[in-house]
Structure 1
Amino acid sequence: MKTVTSLLLLALISVYGSVASNNVLYPYGLDQGDKVTPTDDDGTSGEVQLSIEFKFFGKKYKSLHVNNNGVISFNVAVSQYTPDAFPLTNGEAFVTPFWGDVDNDLGGIVYYRESTDPDLLQKITEDLEKHLPHLHYKATWAFVATWDKVAYYGSASKRVNTFQAVLTSDGFNYIAILNYDDIQWTTGTASDGDPDTGLGGTPAQAGFNSGDDTHYFSIPGSRTNEVLKIQKTTNVNYDGRWVFEVDNFKVPGGCIFQAKFAKEGEDFWSESSCSTKCRCQDGQVSCAEESCPKSGTCEASGSFFTCKIPKKGCF
């Protein structure tokens, strides 16, 4: 006979598609003092005034917008639902944990709050001591935005996504933490996604845009089908979490090469012909001419390419 707990779990799965098992998110919800954005396709919080100046790519911002489509923007609200490839050079500065066509008319809530709650700040401090020990970081301020079980535009399924963006400062350093709890769809139907699966078309973008043609970053898999697996990726050895220093912009755990992320110690080819082999070492990328052998195939892998050599069979 099934227990009540088992029946409850099955009921949750039937409603939400799956139950996330990791603990990557910081606390959120009305009981944490969160506000919510309007329940509106392509909606926004409106301008939210901050108690501090948050530094992002060298510029200071005193307000932001939390946009339903998975974007925190500093200059203006972002209602666009199909993500463009970075960089966007029209002056728009934003953090996007998952820029896709959210429709919380069909399901989900977008929460946000500015906080100096000691318990939250202590948790962030402890996490960043593990992730960025060289900073000796002690959080004094945070802004938390959480997209909780949000549906996609045109959905004919029960697939939903839960993810979070956290901005934090200790008064000297400015950090962005992107957390991914459960990602089940990548694309709304207005972006040519499948209504039954939420896949295909132009998938979601994750990363940062400063508004110019130089300072931007895309998390590996952005605008490809691979973004569905973002909850299994990380740059700080903690699945589902990406951490960035966003004042002068640094990506721990690897290198930035052609505005893309290469893991520390990773060998990769920089183009689809696999004729230039590169390596990320101590935060720097070095490259040399080296071709993939004729017996191998050059295949896309993350942000770059890899040379696949078939294994010899056993006889």
Structure 2
Amino acid sequence: RHSSSLTLPANFLPFGNGEIVTPRLENGSSEAITLQLPFKFFGRTHNQTFVNNNGHLTFTEPLSDYIPLLNSGRDIIAPLWTQLDNRRGGTISCREDRSSAVLALVTAAIDRYFPNITFVATSAFVATWDSVPYQNGEGVTFQVVLVSNVHRSFILINYGDIAETEQMWQAGYSTLDSLHSFTIPVTSAPELSSSSNINVNGRRSFHVDGSPNLPTNFLASGAGDRVNPPAEDGSSDVIFLQQPFKYFGRTYNQIFVSISYFPHH
């Protein structure tokens, strides 16, 4: 592992060796990085990503903006959106990792943080800002990991040393329609390193494919399912069963699903 950070937290994934490095440009970005495993983000599927120097990932185009605005009409993941200057030092690098060692690490983490979801990772896209200075200030170190398989997607965000800054900054994520938008609730940038939503200081994790957090014994639901109309005491239209259902001596060829959770035959 290459790292110029002196005290890297244990929750960081290895980074540096053989990775794509973003250009040393003011408000620069990587080229489009094709994802071997597409990433599902609240109902949309992305086949590529851009690692932007100012602390965020986008999916359809690079983003040079350094004034943070999460609800800006795009899918974006921003571990620390502010003006960062890798011309002054530090390295911004990334890779998609499908090695068994890294997949085992992220699978174990997601299983620990989301115990009601059965999940085995098949891809981990890792982007690391290693000791990259603010435009006016000290360096910061953080990492975002897109953890996914063909059905589920999660984000892990790891924070190392985060210096105080008077620059505008924001941390969180948002979607194209802003329906799924979250800003990490801290009042100063250094608090990112000492707070958590999963009881691991300096780490945050989010379930972001848009599917419900169903218990492990539930079958998958949602995609392609028939949806009842919103109505008080309403019901589905008649649903014809391809295989008739026998119920205590009677056989039914159709069913109604009522909003009151009592199926009627």
Tell me the TM-score normalized by structure 2. Answer: 0.75
2:170 counterpart of 1:208: no
Among all aligned residue pairs of Structure 1 and Structure 2, give the percentage whose two residues are the same amino acid.
Answer: 34
Whichever residue aligns with residue 43 of structure 1, its letter is G
1:111 to 81, 93, 111: 93
Q: Which whole-Å CA distance do the structure 2 matches of 1:138 and 1:52 have between them?
A: 14
Q: What is the aligned partner in structure 1 of residue 12 from structure 2?
A: 25
Q: What is the aligned partner in structure 2 of residue 57 from structure 1?
A: 42
Whichever residue aligns with residue 241 of structure 1, its letter is R
Q: What is the aligned partner in structure 2 of residue 236 from structure 1?
A: 198
Q: Which whole-Å CA distance do the structure 2 matches of 1:66 and 1:75 have between them?
A: 11
Q: Once the 2 structures are TM-superposed, how far is the Cα of residue 215 of structure 1 from its aligned partner?
A: 2.0
Q: Which whole-Å CA distance do the structure 2 matches of 1:249 and 1:65 have between them?
A: 24
Provide the aligned length of Structure 1 versus Structure 2.
Answer: 211
Q: What is the aligned partner in structure 1 of residue 148 from structure 2?
A: 169
Structure with the larger RCO, 1 or 2 (CA within 8 Å, 6+ apart): 2
Q: What is the aligned partner in structure 1 of residue 71 from structure 2?
A: 87
Q: Once the 2 structures are TM-superposed, how far is the Cα of residue 137 of structure 1 from its aligned partner?
A: 1.8
Q: Once the 2 structures are TM-superposed, how far is the Cα of residue 64 of structure 1 from its aligned partner?
A: 0.8
8 Å contact 1:207–1:218 — kept in the other structure?
A: yes
Q: Which whole-Å CA distance do the structure 2 matches of 1:99 and 1:200 have between them?
A: 13
SS in 2 for 1:134: coil
- Within 5 Å, give how 1:215-234 maps onto structure 2: 215-221=180-186, 224=187, 226-234=188-196
Over 3 Å counting, the alpha-carbon distance change for 1:108 and 1:249 in structure 2 is farther
- Within 5 Å, give how 1:35-50 maps onto structure 2: 35-50=20-35
Over 3 Å counting, the alpha-carbon distance change for 1:249 and 1:240 in structure 2 is farther
Tell me the TM-score normalized by structure 1. Answer: 0.63
Q: Which whole-Å CA distance do the structure 2 matches of 1:24 and 1:211 have between them?
A: 30
1:78-122: CA deviations, max 9, x gaps?
1011212x322x3x2111100011101001100100111111101
Q: Once the 2 structures are TM-superposed, how far is the Cα of residue 22 of structure 1 from its aligned partner?
A: 2.8
1:150-176: CA deviations, max 9, x gaps?
011144xxx211000000113221111
2:210 counterpart of 1:248: yes
Q: Which whole-Å CA distance do the structure 2 matches of 1:250 and 1:232 have between them?
A: 29
- Within 5 Å, give how 1:1-315 maps onto structure 2: 19-20=6-7, 22-30=9-17, 33-84=18-69, 86-88=70-72, 90=73, 92-155=74-137, 159-185=138-164, 199-202=165-168, 204-221=169-186, 224=187, 226-248=188-210
1:43-93: CA deviations, max 9, x gaps?
101111111221101101101100011111011111011212x322x3x21
Q: What is the aligned partner in structure 2 of residue 310 from structure 1?
A: none
SS in 1 for 2:108: helix
Whichever residue aligns with residue 207 of structure 1, its letter is G
Bigger share in helix: 1
Q: Which whole-Å CA distance do the structure 2 matches of 1:28 and 1:154 have between them?
A: 26
Q: Once the 2 structures are TM-superposed, how far is the Cα of residue 227 of structure 1 from its aligned partner?
A: 2.5
Which has the greater radius of gyration?
2
SS in 1 for 2:32: strand
Q: Which whole-Å CA distance do the structure 2 matches of 1:170 and 1:47 have between them?
A: 21
8 Å contact 2:37–2:149 — kept in the other structure?
A: no
Q: Once the 2 structures are TM-superposed, how far is the Cα of residue 129 of structure 1 from its aligned partner?
A: 2.0
Q: Which whole-Å CA distance do the structure 1 matches of 2:42 and 2:54 have between them?
A: 22
Whichever residue aligns with residue 183 of structure 1, its letter is I
Whichever residue aligns with residue 200 of structure 1, its letter is E
Q: Once the 2 structures are TM-superposed, how far is the Cα of residue 21 of structure 1 from its aligned partner?
A: 5.7
Q: Which whole-Å CA distance do the structure 1 matches of 2:75 and 2:8 have between them?
A: 33
Q: What is the aligned partner in structure 1 of residue 247 from structure 2?
A: none
8 Å contact 1:144–1:165 — kept in the other structure?
A: yes
Q: Which whole-Å CA distance do the structure 1 matches of 2:7 and 2:149 have between them?
A: 30
Q: What is the aligned partner in structure 2 of residue 189 from structure 1?
A: none
8 Å contact 1:220–1:227 — kept in the other structure?
A: no
Q: Which residues of structure 2 form unaligned runs of 5+?
A: 214-265
Q: Which whole-Å CA distance do the structure 1 matches of 2:51 and 2:45 have between them?
A: 17
